[in-house]
A and B are shown apart, each in its own frame.
Chain A
């Protein structure tokens, strides 16, 4: 069942790639220059790295039945801190450590609101989503701060055969997958997400687990914020990481993790993030007019979500059954509120 769920996003990804190849036949071609790979697909990977990283953090948050809307703002804050520090003559490593340290604090704040005070995650993180950008603006005094630091620009724009950014994102994704699936963490996260009260009574540290995933999500957002600002060698408090929370949530959902919490799939999130980024790129390459890009994106996302939904699957099966009477698996429906 899990395998079938990842099939649709994979199909969507393949479809988008085919579309791109038709429009730009050179789409798949790769060049090697100075030992680095270049090409449209590599661009997709590089530009998609921040979304993917944030989506990894978001996956764990969503698995606990939560959501984190503040990741975009946190990313902006991280970029603002690092860049102002470097612009003031600071060292890049200190800048990054400081930025990530602040992100951990922000994550602790979110986690505190959700796990200790029991505020609904969507509301709790909305606070930081709106206030966070204001904080970033204060840090940069409303200016776009440009910097020139060769070490710092490596994170977002550097290459080690592949872009450094995507290597970081993939490493984090792989690390989290190993950590949660080799230990019992993944199972405990899912159990808290499916039934918090039953988990509490079974002795699961639900509070600590929930708190931790928000801190981790903020940390991911921080690193993503560093990538974004390093890529352009500037901190733009207004637009850095804008709407990235939406892309990350979409990536998670397309990847087959339910917003209702519980079972999560990091492999699905990986594919979901690639779909989102390829979609964004496709919109430019096939020349969709900018005023309808968001609509176009929405259509594709709805299509993937519809195809995944068990209800639609049942409907399609039903149609087929009517056409050619054959044995079919009944569809267990959820008993709704009568």
Chain B
């Protein structure tokens, strides 16, 4: 159905793709695999006309096409969910889903019909939210689902999903896959990008592997095992990819906690909770979509103001007066919404990386050029940021590489408490292990870490203690070495009211 041949895409100074072939057949789910910056998103954007190709031909149903914009591609039956959610956060959910295709009455947009149609589409992907609510008021995972609903709203023959599952929980992923299977039966050609190898093996029929903008190979999923896939992606054996070992907690019981929250809460966001975090401890937050993980983290950082409760940091009461005062207390927060709350898209990697440090120093004391260069070089090396060019505009980096820069932005400030909201979102397998290792090392050096991830395995692996949230309320705390994913799952699913089940 889609046949791309010899595709090259160049940006000033970089060759993002060179002579890549890609085929997509009707009735298949085709996974596009590769490391961060391999060129997956670029290939998709070349197909939908966001980027212009400098060589190669694209055929859709046998006819050569050259879209000059994503709108054209959509009209030709190619429906796309891009990696970075690009919807209008100031419009309602319903308006976003049907933007440009609103049902009309007497020439004017019919609000009621729009909401009804949107409600039906939301229902189809199993998302229970008010279609009339503002999109921006929802967490990034919900926005991602809305973008998917929008893509499903058109009866497309080709559906392109660039990392649709990066911030979804297993339930939503299962729901999405159910829909994809139905579409596959109907003969829709589906292009799917994900860094979750398990998901790829669950849904994909075939896969194409890219590395450094070049085609490595096209394989049937059942003919390529996981190890071979990973080494094809990385271009080296898997030996370097060791798993992070579970650590034992280093804090001696009875020591003063770094952070102490008592009855902290905010109406509509999270019910009042108590939480202690000690130095050298990694506390994981687990819960389903909408359980209040991000909301809790934002309260700890002062990104939102609490209505009730007190916060003590390092033994001193901290009146949460916004991020700036919390940063001065040694708290750092890396948001899950990298486009909206993370990157400063027009500035360089260097400026983005030192931003938090610079802000803390004040404008009059610029970070010395030498220090900045050293730090940037150190983290480009440590986190394998590509391209390794401190002057590159961050908006041009691939999604995963942007995420690494944001992580580095906080690491260089050496906080006492580091709150990471989905730090490995959109990060490839190799770098993910690397980041988990960095987190473990920091904790070993005495930093307290709060770790949020939709991927329960990851939370369990890196955390000393898992705080479980349900329906915007803290329901359990699981501590000890033998906490397993299923323990966390059952704590999440437990129906009875708030019980503090402490296993150890």
Contacts and interface: CB of A to CB of B under 8 A. Distances in A.
B364 A202 contact: no
Interface in B111-160: none
A197 B324 contact: no
Given A203-B323, A329-B10, A197 B52 contact: no
Nearest to B410: A202
A307 B333 CA distance: 42
Q: Which residue, of A188, A190, A191, A203, has the highest number of chain B Cβ atoms within 10 A? A: A203
Interface string A314-338: 0000000000000111111101111
A299 interface: no
Nearest to B395: A194
Contacts of A205: 324, 359
Interface residues of A, number: 34
Contacts of B51: 330, 332-333
Q: Is the interface of A mostly helix, strand, loop or mixed?
A: loop
A39 B409 CA distance: 54
Interface in B22-55: 45, 50-54
A193 B16 CA distance: 29
Contact of A203 (B70, B87, B360): B360
Nearest to A197: B341
A195 B394 CA distance: 13
- Nearest first, the 9 closest Cβ-Cβ pairs linking A and B are A330-B52, A203-B359, A184-B366, A203-B327, A185-B363, A204-B359, A202-B356, A262-B346, A191-B344
Contacts of B70: 335-336, 338
B356 A203 contact: yes
A202 B53 contact: no
B355 interface: yes
Contacts, number: 119
Interface in B296-336: 301, 303, 322-324, 327, 333, 335
Nearest to A193: B346
21 contacts: A183-B366, A184-B358, A188-B358, A190-B346, A194-B344, A194-B346, A198-B335, A198-B340, A203-B323, A205-B324, A262-B346, A263-B346, A263-B347, A328-B54, A329-B11, A330-B11, A330-B51, A331-B52, A336-B70, A337-B87, A338-B70
A194 B324 CA distance: 19
A188 B365 CA distance: 12
Contacts of A329: 10-12, 54
Contacts of B340: 195, 197-198
B364 A183 contact: yes
Interface in B341-374: 341-347, 351, 355-356, 358-367
Interface string B100-113: 10000000000000
A297 interface: no
Contacts of A262: 346-347
Nearest to A185: B363
Contacts of A338: 70-71, 74, 86, 99-100
A248 B119 CA distance: 49
Interface in B68-103: 69-71, 74, 82, 86-88, 99-100
